[in-house]
Each structure stands twice: as structure tokens, then as C-alpha cells.
Homo-oligomer: A and B are copies of this chain.
Amino acid sequence: MSFQYLTNLPLDKAKTEYIDRLIQNGMAPKTETISVTQAAGRITAEPVYARINSPHYNACAMDGIALMAHLTFGAGETTPVSLTAEQYTRVNTGDKLPDNCDAVVMIEDVIECDDSTIKLYDSASPWQHIRQIGEDICAGEMLLPSRSRLTPASLGAMIAGGLHQVEVIKRPIAGIIPTGDELVPPTKDPEAGDILEFNSTIFSAMLRDWGAEAVTYPIVEDNLDSLRTAIASALKECDIVLVNAGSSAGSKDYAAEAIAANGEVLYHGIAIKPGKPAILGLCGDKPILGVPGYPVSGIIVIEELLRPIVEYLCRMSQDPAEYTDATLSKSIVSTLKYQEFVRVRMGLVNSKLIATPLSRGSGVVTSFMKADGIVNIPQGVEGFESGETVRIRLLRSKEALSRSIVAIGSHDPLLDELTELLQRATDGQISLGSSHVGSMGGIMAVRRGEAHIAATHLLDEKTGEYNIPFIKRYFPNGGVRLVECVKRTQGLILQKGNPKNITDISGLKQEGLRYVNRQKGSGTRVLLDYLCKNEGIDTSSIYGYEREEYTHTAVAALIAADSADAGLGIYSVSKLYDLDFVPVCNERYDLLIPDYAWDSPSVQAFLEVLKSSAFRQKLDDLGGYTVENPGTVIF
């Protein structure tokens, strides 16, 4: 075959060569003629010339009388002019100016005498109170040049200028072909091994945002013939074809071969991460893109490689991407081999924009949902250090970011419920983004000035006291407040019915038991280690001690799915999954808020929500919480 197999081409080179080749082959915007009433937001393909004047007749602009102005010359307070019926005509606003008239006098200034004679006490200027022909638009005049975006007012101007249709740039049609034996449509309850086909929904929404139309074809099995045929028929109907997935080089990956059979594969493999196994193919002037199956890879590939093509075909530059500098709250290690795109969550903390990297897994679509920006790590760069200033492409406005609360620390689903109450109370104006890095991670983030709020439940082994000893140690000079939130019940989360008969922590040692742990630095892991130490249990004897999850919910989910037998976590998640639960202790779950954040309107709104009865109600529903005086400063 003629194509280059899994190359590692730099992105910019790939993009430029791909687009140049397509243009060389004749790729160009198409145009269509549509009704003016339907043309809002579209781009003119040709200059628009008015067909008629507006007004198209000399129109009276007032209710009153029309006359020749010279008849009123000399009129004044003491020298009124009298006019007889033949000398004037009564008119309403919008009426055609009668022949042999060149002025309108407002009805308020007309003094009616007996019979039909009137008196005027002021002279009229020629053409007063008349909207003359062409006042707004002259026939033949250029209303809009080509490449103009049609605003609501410009639609009105076109109709006023006698135009009912307008030639605009046609939206290119992008056809999406999902392929893979494991794919099932999003409307079916999936079996193990099934993958819900949701990429086409994401890609369609992105394409529509950029000005294209999107068509999704039925799922094609992993079979060269079927895929080749599907591409061929999509090429008949579309300007752009996307094949998703099968773009890699595995035994069931037919995208490259099927594209080549319909045209040509220009490149296969781009030096980006995620997104490497992209295929840049074409059939004449039509791009055929092989898009990787992992959603995050796919999003990056179409954003980087397809968007410029769509914009070229739409003749529509979106507002240019907004960039900003921000301080990285965590190091990012990257490979030298690829240009890498890392999603980050952002917030304005203590007058500094902070960026926290989100999960880099190609399958973690929520990382894009949560992302406020994207860091681009060039090829040949090893990454960025924590604390370093990095350039970020913004996905949310800086203004919105300035209203966002950065919560870093321990996980509890109640944080999501607080977010919900906050968004509802403020109509989505104030949001809260929480990163689950454990209690200790939260304390450190506050110390570095990188968080507004840190949730913490750290037990001091010596004193048996929660949180306060750590605050004293890490903030010897103060500068922070510890705010009461809740007490919550920690315990062993077990499969429904407790089939392994676990009654306390010592049960974790039993042969064949699959434990699932929390990550290092989390309060819950500290608690497990403390409990094991007290009971003299060697943690290396627990199968699954190294299996780390970042949230209580994830631990419970694995147990509910029979992928694990036990884990330490809070009662509310065991209730959520209807699992068994052996209580181990009650712990304080508090919120650390630095002074620099305290007075911000966002944090004050958060504290209001924390004190609300709606929050108490929600905790009741979740279960396993003791609520006293949330929102009270306790240290």
C-alpha cells in the first residue's frame, strides 16, 4: 500500500500538508441560496445589493397635515398663516406623502378653525417630518460585502432592501461512521464487553458548534468490506467523512485500509498524545479522517485536525482561542516523543490563576467535561513542574473562572451536593470544582495558596483529635480558619449480605478476599493504616492493598460490581450501592478555608449554602452523617 504506516508526524506539519493537499485537490466552500428569514448567523457568499429603496416612497413621519412648505413661510406667533382645504392634506404616520407636498406639520401644531380652514403659528421647513425615499437604503447600494456574518438587524435591512433570498456559504456536511464489533447504540443497556457508542454525539455537537452539519451513520462491524462500502456511500452524501475507530494498527483495525480503498491515506500516525493513531485520508477534495476510538483522543484529533478544515469550508473563523498564563498546581510529566494536550481545571485563588491537571486517561471523557483549559506541551519537552507558569488555552471565560471555587482535598459526595445547592442558589453563576487529592493534599494546596477550600478528616494518632493538630503544625502563624462541616461514619463496605462474614478489620486478612484501597495521602488510607497498626495486621498480607481508588464512590462501585469484596469508606456510598457496612468510627469532616479566600463573594455564598436547611435535608437523605452546626468556625 502507498500510505505511510503509523508515522509520527509533528502536528503542525501534518495539518498544513493535509489542508494544502485538499485545497490543491479542489476543496472549497460551497454556497447555497436560502430565505433571508432563515439566514441568521450565516456568512454571505456574495456582496448583497439592495433591490429597492427604503423607504420606497416618501413617507409621512408624523400624524398631521402635508403641504408645500413655502405656504407657511412668514408664519409666527403673532402672524399665523391660514390655509384652506385645497392647500393641505390630512395624513397619518406611514402614509405616502401626497403629490405637490414637501413638508408635514404635526397635528399638535395645527389649529382647526371652523369649516376646513386651519391656522399655523410656525413656518415649516421643506422636507420636515418626512422619511424621504432611500433615507435608510438606496436601491443598488451594497448592503453587505461577502464574508459578512448576518446579524438580526442585517436580515431586516435585506428585507427592507427588497431581498427575500440570500446566497450564503453552505454548511459542510460531515458524516460520522462509528465502527467496532463492541459498539452498541446508546439506547441499549450494555453487557460486559459492550461499548456505548457516544463519540458520535460528542463529535456531532462539536461539528455543529463550528458551523458544520453532522450526520451519524449506523454502526459498522469490524470488517474491511463493510467499512469500505460505508465510506463509499458516505462520500456520496458528505463533504467530510470521519471513521471512528479502528484507526490503530491492531488485527481488527480496518480504517486505514478501508480509507485507502476509497482514495488515499496521506498520513497514519501523528505525534500527539492522546490521538496518535489518527489517519489523514482523502478522496479527491474530500477529507476522510480516521479518528481514534478513545473519546479523549478523538476529541483532540478532530479539534486539531478537522476544525481548521470546517472553518475553511465555512469561511467562518470562530472567535480566536483565548489564552492565559496560570500556575500549575501539580507537575505534568510528558514524553519527548509527542506533543501532548493536558486538560486542566482552573480557578482564581488569591489573585493567581491556578491550573490543576485532570485525569490524562484517553477514556476519561469526564476530564473534558470538567476542563476549564488545555495545556499544550510541545514535542521535545519533558513536561512542566508544579509552580511553573504555563500557557493555557481557555475553555471557559476568565470572568467565569473568577467566580469558581477551587476545592482541593478529601472526597465526599456531599461536596457534589453542596455544588448543586450553590449552583441552584446562584443560577449557575458560582460553581465549585473539587479535586480529590486526599486531606493532606488539600492542606498543602491551601498552604501554597492554591485552593479556596480544603476538606479534611485527618486523625492525629497521638491525641486522637481530628484536623486541629495538623492545622497547628502546617499553619503555625495562622491565616486559615477551620469550619465545621459534618461528622461521618467510616466503616468497612462489604458485598450485600456479607458473604465473606467480615465483622471487623481483622477479616481483611482472610484468604481469597479482594480488598480495594484508597490512594496514598487520603484520610481514609491513613485511617486504615492506623487501624491495622492497632490490630497488628501486616498490610502486605491484604490482597488489594495496592489497588488504589480516588473516591469512596469508586471503592463502593467496585465492590457492588463484584470486582472487590471489601473496602474502607463512608456509610453514604454503601447506602448508595445497597451494600453491607460495618461501622468502624465516627470522624470529623471539616473544611479548611484560608483567610485570603474568606471574604470572596463566592466563598461567602458557599458558607450560606453550608448553613442551609436544604443541605441538612440532603445529608439526611445520603445517610451516615451527624450534623451539628455546619458553617461554624471551630479553629
**A residues neighboring B (CB under 8 Å):** 36-37, 40-41, 43, 47, 52-58, 61, 63, 92-96, 125-127, 131-149, 151-157, 159-160, 162, 164, 180, 182, 186-187, 189-190, 192-193, 195-196, 198-199, 201-206, 208-209, 250-252, 295, 299, 315, 317, 319-320, 359, 361, 363-366, 368-369, 371, 397, 399, 413, 416-417, 419-420, 422-424, 427-429, 431, 544, 546-547, 549, 551, 553-554, 556-558, 560-561, 563, 573, 576-577
Contact = CB atoms under 8 A, between A and B. Distances in A.
B546 A126 contact: yes
B145 A424 contact: yes
B551 A420 contact: no
B139 A557 contact: yes
This chain: copies in complex: 2
Given A126-B546, A146-B423, A135 B209 contact: no
The 9 closest A-B pairs by CB, nearest first: A147-B428, A153-B368, A152-B205, A159-B198, A57-B192, A40-B205, A142-B416, A134-B557, A145-B420
A547 B186 CA distance: 69
Given A557-B53, A563-B132, A577-B140, A202 B152 contact: yes
Contacts of A162: 189-190, 196
8 contacts: A96-B192, A134-B554, A140-B577, A142-B417, A148-B423, A155-B205, A156-B198, A160-B198
Contacts of A299: 152-153
Contacts of A397: 319
A633 B600 CA distance: 59
Contacts of A547: 126-127
B36 A147 contact: no
A153 B366 CA distance: 7
B142 A413 contact: yes
A365 B145 contact: no
A364 B136 contact: yes
Contacts of A95: 193
A369 B92 contact: no
Contacts of A152: 201-206, 209, 299
Contacts of A53: 557, 561
A219 B498 CA distance: 72
Contacts of A47: 416, 420
A107 B547 CA distance: 23
A365 B153 contact: yes
A133 B190 CA distance: 13
B208 A551 contact: no
B561 A153 contact: no
A133 B557 contact: yes
Contacts of A427: 147, 315, 317
B366 A143 contact: yes
Contacts of A556: 138
Contact of A202 (B142, B156, B315): B156
B58 A563 contact: yes
Given A37-B186, A365-B157, A420 B142 contact: yes
Given A36-B201, A134-B554, A152-B202, A250 B57 contact: no
Contacts of A431: 145
A38 to B, nearest CB: 9
Nearest to A40: B205
Contacts of A149: 428
Contacts of A137: 366
Contacts of A147: 423-424, 427-428
A92 B153 contact: no
B413 A141 contact: yes
B156 A56 contact: no
A611 to B, nearest CB: 19
Given A397-B319, A420-B47, A140 B576 contact: yes
Contacts of A154: 369
Given A94-B193, A127-B546, A134-B561, 17 more contacts: A57-B193, A63-B251, A126-B544, A126-B546, A132-B563, A136-B364, A139-B557, A140-B577, A143-B369, A147-B423, A148-B428, A152-B203, A153-B295, A154-B369, A159-B196, A315-B427, A319-B399
